[in-house]
Structure 1
Amino acid sequence: MTANREQKVEDVFTIQDSDCCGNGCTNCILDNKPRPSQRALLAGKRNIILKYTSFRLLQRETHSGDDQVLFLHFGNAAESDDKDDCVLDIPPGHHIMLRIGSLLRPYSPYWTDFASKEFKILVKLQPDGPMSQHLVAVQPNDRLEFRGPIGNYRHDSAVTKCIYIICQGVAVAPTLPLVGQVLENEDDMSRIWHLMCAPDLQHVYFRDQLLEFAKYWNYRSCLYVPHQQCGSDACLEAGHCRQECDELRRSLRYKERVCLHRLEANELKQHVAPAIPGLPVLIIAGDSGFQRAMGEAAAKALGVAQENVYLL
């Protein structure tokens, strides 16, 4: 690498206090600044998102059961001559920062395309959220600025692991690439336990994708939906569906396992399989309250060393 090239890379990675969104992110940009992409370097190109870059909204959809949940698909808006010299590399488990004026918010893509420089995020609009007030009005062809990737999770496929992923609501989105990178690698012998917490089945996002995962030998999942409610007299009287509810059973899909209560840390022991070899790893995706509630107790229940616990 030439001296000029080194200087350019150093300029890209300059981080200031103002780059922090102030929301207390687990993986703050001040602690985990964007790093060179080995994948991009091997391709002889640069990662376009290392500094704030304009992306155009290609598609906007609302969730069928909740119009406050948006699926947003972005593509690089560059029109310069060197656009073919760039790629987009956002490793699984990393987030990117959206900037609108002085307002900053992190989002974790659930899908990216390296060559076409596109990504998709899932957004839960908050009634009084400053960024939500902007995103509720964003329309296709609007341009927004993103920077990243920010995070510290790295998966080594050469090391067999028992990976426990616990996620809450829309935070299932950033866990999809984590699962995909294991299942799509035939040489990776790691096992995955995917535990998802949501109010009810209507708010379990990406069910079709989860069904695709269920086809793999090394993937297991369980949905925790304490507020699932059908219209039967017995379930209405109980205030929620019962495990033996026929209507609930008819609504389930192939290999879907459902528990009609909250996931408690002490219940996690039932997911431990001592006979299965692998380094225990715990990944928790959700808001700060969920992470605090699950973090230490889940690590203890699953036998995971603190250095192998990752919060997204």
Structure 2
Amino acid sequence: MVADEEQRNQDLNVEEELLQDSDCCGNGCTNCILDHKPRPSKRVLLAGKRNVILSYTKFRLLRRETLVESKSESGGQVLLLHFGHAPEETEAEDTVLDIPPGHHVMLRIGSLLRPYSPYWSDFLAREFRILVKLQAGGPMSRHLATVQPNDLLEFRGPIGQYTHDPKTAKCIYILAQGVAIAPTLPLVRQVLENEEDMSRVWHLVCARDLQHVYFREELLEFVQYWNYRSCLYLPHQQCDSIACQDAGYCAPECFHFRRSLRYKETAKVARLDASGLATYLNPSIPGQRVLIVAGDSTFQKAMAQMATQSLALDPANVYLL
């Protein structure tokens, strides 16, 4: 056992030595691989196996599903991609795949590097899934638009800094924008699926309209838990009624909009702003306040600044995915 641990430490040291500036994608990621080097987690060490993704390794595309966006939405498509580890013939089989909630993996195609945050992974089967929004003219998007099942791609990770201690009850505010709702799902699950975790979760999802709210079924499952609350913010929700077409959006009392909501599903035809955030501040609920923001850099910066004031947060407890 001691010899195995020494070997794992040696492997980690080698991987860190091989980490170069070229491993950074250059997009200014909040959790840059140069700042948060992939390391074996306690879970991996307890399993006595190696995390297969600590260095660039090949994964096979097992399933590809295309979600078509509305014509007014740039990019056109959102892809659901399911990958499985494709071991080399000489590779040892005592490996696992550990991607903790809130962490991302780096995809490498040639000289192109892009980070993606899995919304699901399987520790023993060594599989994971990501949601990708194709950007018009984006170099990586051009590659991903053509990938098909059985194609091999290289990933490395996990990269990130967020950790959750279930022993300490917290008030966790999770703000998600568009497809970035995907990596917030594991963050919610790790709280709700632990019966001993007394933390509370507020899940605030910002999307164009109901059509662009992904994983609605999962959100409806979460709302069955006592310590979970969610709200959809849909500033461009618009039905076919004459009044809403003239206004350019649905009124809060719109019958067609309200009828489209599911049981226990809460939504507002508005943008999430400072006053809206302040309504979730309840000083009577104990626990450390934690904020997690998932979205593009503009959304992250604006929401982090706004929420820090509206929710009386310590900036040290703000995490950007």
How far apart are 1:289 and its partner, in Å? 0.5
Q: Could you list the per-position Cα deviations for residues 53-92 of structure 1 after superposition, in whole angstroms to 9, with x for gaps in the alignment?
A: 1000000001155551000000001143655300000000
Partner of 1:281: 290
How far apart are 1:237 and its partner, in Å? 1.2
Q: Which residue type is aligned with residue 237 of structure 2?
A: Q
Q: Normalized against structure 2, the TM-score is what?
A: 0.95
Residues in 2 aligned to 1:6 and 1:120: alpha-carbon distance in whole angstroms: 28
Determine whether 1:136 maps to 2:136: no
For 1:226-237, what aligned pairs fall within 5 Å after superposition?
Answer: 226-237=235-246
Residues in 2 aligned to 1:187 and 1:81: alpha-carbon distance in whole angstroms: 42
Determine whether 1:106 maps to 2:115: yes
Secondary structure at the aligned position of 1:211 is classed as helix
Contact 1:97 1:146 in 2 (8 A): yes
Q: Could you list the per-position Cα deviations for residues 20-64 of structure 1 after superposition, in whole angstroms to 9, with x for gaps in the alignment?
A: 000000000111110112111101101000000100000000115
Secondary structure at the aligned position of 2:29 is classed as coil
Moved more, 169-178 or 71-80: 71-80
Determine whether 1:44 maps to 2:44: no
RMSD: 1.2
Determine whether 1:117 maps to 2:126: yes
Q: Which residue type is aligned with residue 27 of structure 1?
A: N
How far apart are 1:266 and its partner, in Å? 3.0
Partner of 1:9: 12
Moved more, 201-210 or 11-20: 11-20
Q: Could you list the per-position Cα deviations for residues 135-170 of structure 1 after superposition, in whole angstroms to 9, with x for gaps in the alignment?
A: 000000000000000000000000100000011000
Aligned residues: 312
For 1:198-213, what aligned pairs fall within 5 Å after superposition?
Answer: 198-213=207-222
Secondary structure at the aligned position of 1:205 is classed as coil
Q: Could you list the per-position Cα deviations for residues 214-267 of structure 1 after superposition, in whole angstroms to 9, with x for gaps in the alignment?
A: 110000000000000100011111111111111111110111111101111232
How far apart are 1:13 and its partner, in Å? 2.6
Q: Which residue type is aligned with residue 59 of structure 1?
A: R
Residues in 2 aligned to 1:240 and 1:36: alpha-carbon distance in whole angstroms: 49
Q: Which residue type is aligned with residue 311 of structure 1?
A: L
Secondary structure at the aligned position of 2:118 is classed as coil
Determine whether 1:265 maps to 2:274: yes
Contact 1:13 1:35 in 2 (8 A): no
Structure 1: gaps (5+ residues)? none
Quote the sequence identity (%).
Answer: 66
Secondary structure at the aligned position of 1:222 is classed as strand
Q: Could you list the per-position Cα deviations for residues 177-196 of structure 1 after superposition, in whole angstroms to 9, with x for gaps in the alignment?
A: 00000000000000000001
Q: What is the aligned counterpart of 2:188 among 179, 197, 204? A: 179
Q: Could you list the per-position Cα deviations for residues 194-218 of structure 1 after superposition, in whole angstroms to 9, with x for gaps in the alignment?
A: 0010110000000000001011000
Partner of 2:39: 35
Structure 2: gaps (5+ residues)? 71-75
Determine whether 1:159 maps to 2:168: yes
Partner of 1:294: 303
Contact 1:168 1:196 in 2 (8 A): yes
Partner of 2:24: 20
How far apart are 1:6 and its partner, in Å? 2.9
